Structures are given as C-alpha cells and as structure tokens.
Structure 1
Amino acid sequence: MKKTFKLDHPKIKVPRLVDSMKHDINKFLKNERKKPLPAGAKYWGFDCKFGQSEEAAVEIELSSLMQHIDDLVENKIMTVYVEITPKAMLPGVG
C-alpha cells in the first residue's frame, strides 16, 4: 500500500477524514494477514514508511503508525503519506 491522503475537503471535516484513513489502513492490514503464508513462514510482518510526502517519508514501527498520524493532524499537516509493505517472517528472524 502506497498512498497519499489529503485531509482538506470542502464538505468533510478533518476528524472524519482521519477516521477514514485509519479505516483504510486497518482494512489493508486485515486483508494482507488473511493471505496464505509462503512455505516456512511463521507470520506476516510489515515494513512501514510514513511522512508528509513520499520524499520525506521515514521508516517507523507499524505499532506507532496511528500515533504518528495523530501527531501530524495535531500539527495541522494536511497531507499524509503512508507506505506499508507486507513481508513473510521466518522463524528466528526479527
């Protein structure tokens, strides 16, 4: 998932757009976790990049993604870039 979310809309308020963005992310994660694992893999892991734009995106932990989104919205940033890449995690590999 590579997506840039715009949080300015003439009729929809920002909190509703943020909820929609979080819903899209959670829906993507749920669908990816349903996919069958490759042979030898134990579970699905995810690499995550986050920022105001694709060029400014930095790698973060998936578990802190929602907090980072809230922080940007709190600072009145109206563009959010999220990139989530699924990867099969093998036993004994972090």
Structure 2
Amino acid sequence: MKKTFKLTDPKKAPARQVDYVKHEISKYIARERRKPLKDGVDFWDFDCRFGKESHTSLIIHVSEINKCIDGVVTQGADHFYIEILAKPGRRTKK
C-alpha cells in the first residue's frame, strides 16, 4: 500500500476521520497477514515508510504507525503519506 491519506473530510468530524484512517491501515495489515506463507517463511514482515510527502518519508516500524498518525494530527497537518510493503520474514534462533 502506497497511499496519501487526507485527515479532513467535510462530512466527518476530524476525530472520526482519523479513526477511519487507522482502521483502514490495520485492516490492510490484517489482510496481508492472512495470506498463505511460502515454504521457509515463518511470518509476514512489513517495510513501512511514513511522512508528509512520499519523497520526505522516513522508515518506521509497524508498531509506530499509530503514534506517527497522532503526531501528524497534533501538528495540524491535513494529509500524510504511508507506504506498507509486505515481505517474507524468518525467525532467527537465539
């Protein structure tokens, strides 16, 4: 998923729009995790980038997505860019 989300909508309250965006992102991640795994793959891992624009986005971890969205909302921005790409993951022995 490579998408620019708008945080303002004339028909929705700003807080509801933010909830909608978070829900859509979590729905996408859950859908990707349900895909069947290939041989030798233990789980689906994700490469994530987040920023105001695609060319200024920074690499983040999946668990930091909601924190980054909240940060953008407190800054007063009206949109943000997010990129989430699934990749095969393999567990390492400790």
TM-score range, shorter chain: over 0.9
Task: State how far apart, in whole Å, the 1-side matches of 2:18 and 2:33 are.
Answer: 23
TM-score normalised according to structure 2 size: 0.93
Q: Which residue of the partner structure matches residue 3 of structure 1?
A: 3
Task: Give the partner amino acid of 2:68.
Answer: H
Task: State how far apart, in whole Å, the 1-side matches of 2:9 and 2:32 are.
Answer: 29
Moved over 3 A (4+): none
Q: Which residue of the partner structure matches residue 44 of structure 1?
A: 44
Alpha-carbon distance, 1:65 to partner: 0.9
Secondary structure in structure 2 of the residue aligned to 1:39: coil
Instruction: Name whichever of 52-61 and 7-16 sits farther off.
Output: 7-16
Q: Which residue of the partner structure matches residue 58 of structure 2?
A: 58
Q: Which residue of the partner structure matches residue 29 of structure 2?
A: 29
Q: Which residue of the partner structure matches residue 89 of structure 2?
A: 89
Task: Give the partner amino acid of 1:40.
Answer: G
Which consecutive unaligned segments of at least 5 residues does structure 2 have? none
Alpha-carbon distance, 1:91 to partner: 3.2
Query: How many percent of aligned residue pairs carry the same amino acid?
Result: 40
Question: What's the Cα RMSD here?
Answer: 1.3
Which consecutive unaligned segments of at least 5 residues does structure 1 have? none
Q: Which residue of the partner structure matches residue 70 of structure 2?
A: 70
Task: State how far apart, in whole Å, the 2-side matches of 1:10 and 1:89 are.
Answer: 41
